[in-house]
Amino acid sequence: MRNTGKNSGQRSKKFALINQGCRLNAAESQRIAQELQKKGWILSSPQEAPWVIINTCTVTHRADADLRKIVRKIQRENPTARIVALGCYVDHHGEVPGTYLSLPNPRKMEVVEVLEEVDRGRIARWKSRGFLKVQEGCDLACTYCIIPRVRGPSRSLPWAEIERRMEDFLVLGYQEVVITGIHLESYGRDLGEKSGFLNLLQRLEAFYPPVRFRISSLDPRFLTRELLAYILSAPHIMPGFHLSLQHYSPRILRLMGRGSNRGFMEILEEIRATRPEAGLGTDFIVGFPTETEEDFLLLYRFAGEAPFSYFHVFSFSPRKGTRAAEIRPRVPERISKKRSALLRELGRRKKEEFARAMVGKTLEATVIKEGEALSENYLKVKFDEKLPPGNRFLFKIEELRFPYLVGNPQE
């Protein structure tokens, strides 16, 4: 890149980073931002940066459509920008139209070399919380999921590399770190560790006692008694737990390649009994091929009876290359939309009920932006005082203005 004017050199050192999709992508995006800034690049906005990096998602057709909208928006607002697309969309579809460069998952970090080193600069936080990717890929065979194809088999990050990344987080002053991966409970198996994820959590507690860790997602099928007991008792693990369930009908779970619903309710009830303040969430897929009214009602009743504080609802989206895309008959779109709406409304009511129960309590929360914090149990807290993003505070919850809690920071 050549400098053609007094300010062009300064502008050429800027990059923007847009993250699509999961927390694993967020962890990778954060790493890219840090590595670029170590080489002197300046984090900026998509409207003014000459380089715009997009870490893509392709888990649904909507994610693909969203990516195309993002590219068009950048082209309108910053027509001279060079757009670099990374990750899952590239693995699944190839080059992203309208981009300068498209790199698949195995080559993501090459973007750091593409944007050559030009100067040394201060490393800024890309987010108010740290995202630590400890595991990549998946060895499971969920019939609806394209991730094993685009991310490959399960691979664990060695402890030495985790230490290096945690040291970067400490330098940046992160007080909360989100542990991410495609399938966290498989961590360590490729390294010969039988209880790898539990061992990792225990190491993090021993080496980084000031840091609070949030676990991005857990699979109930691999949640051992020992692991569950540990995360419910460890003070450095934040009491917000997301369990990967997807459905409750035994028949649909078998078609999804996810076994049975055995133990779902027992695990949820144990978490609620042991940590009453814990946030409990999950994802549900509605309209999976052959889903009957009876299948949906099983799911709906379970969602209503289980102690969830929130859940995300997705309408089934067939992905080419997955076994589920070939299952027939498909659920008509109008029926799938109706079922999704019913489940989302139930989820809204349960979230409001859980949030209302927090009024009068004191919660720890990490400030994520001016006037807003994310509580330990995954609720958003509004406040009036000026507090630094990334720092943890105790908030006395005064009232509910759904979907937000309103609180006052405590001394």
CA distances from 408 to 354, 372, 378 (A): 19, 11, 17
Helices (H), 130-282: 147-151, 159-172, 196-207, 225-233, 250-256, 264-274
Q: What is the pLDDT of residue 82?
A: 87
Residue 214 Rama label (left phi>0; alpha psi -120 to 50; beta): beta
* DSSP output for 299-336: HHHHHHHS--S--EEEE----TTSGGGG-SSPPPHHHH
Q: What is the pLDDT of residue 124?
A: 60
Which helix (H) or strand (E) element contains residue 356?
helix 333-356
Residues 6+ apart with CB under 8 A from 143: 255, 256, 257, 322, 323, 324, 327
384-390 CB contacts, 8 Å cutoff, 24+ apart? 385/409, 389/125, 389/128, 390/125, 390/128, 390/129, 390/173, 390/174, 390/175, 390/176, 390/366
What domains sit in the chain, N to C, each tagged with a CATH number? 8-114 (3.40.50.2300), 130-356 (3.80.30.20), 362-409 (2.40.50.140)
CA distances from 259 to 107, 118, 220, 271, 381 (A): 34, 52, 11, 22, 38
12 φ, ψ to 5°?
-65, -15
Sign (positive or negative) of CA dihedral 345, 397, 228, 134: positive
* pLDDT single digits (tens) 280-319: 999 999 999 999 999 999 999 999 999 999 999 999 999 8
User: What residues in the chain have per-residue pLDDT under 70?
Assistant: 1-12, 116-126
Q: What is the pLDDT of residue 116?
A: 56
> What secondary structure letter does DSSP report for 196?
H
Q: What is the pLDDT of residue 117?
A: 38
- Cβ(186)–Cβ(138) under 8 Å? yes
Residue 4 CA, chain-centre distance (Å), reads 40
Residue 325 CA, chain-centre distance (Å), reads 25
Q: What is the pLDDT of residue 125?
A: 67
Q: What is the pLDDT of residue 118?
A: 32
Helices (H), 95-180: 111-114, 147-151, 159-172
* pLDDT single digits (tens) 254-264: 999 999 999 99
CA distances from 267 to 121, 236, 355 (A): 48, 21, 21
Tokens read off for 221: 């099928």
How crowded is residue 331: how many other Cβ atoms within 10 Å of its Cβ?
20
Q: What is the pLDDT of residue 6?
A: 36
Q: What is the pLDDT of residue 220?
A: 96
Residues 6+ apart with CB under 8 A from 260: 250, 253, 254
- Cβ(352)–Cβ(315) under 8 Å? no
- Cβ(211)–Cβ(238) under 8 Å? no
Strand duo 392-401 + 362-369: pairing: antiparallel
- Cβ(335)–Cβ(376) under 8 Å? no
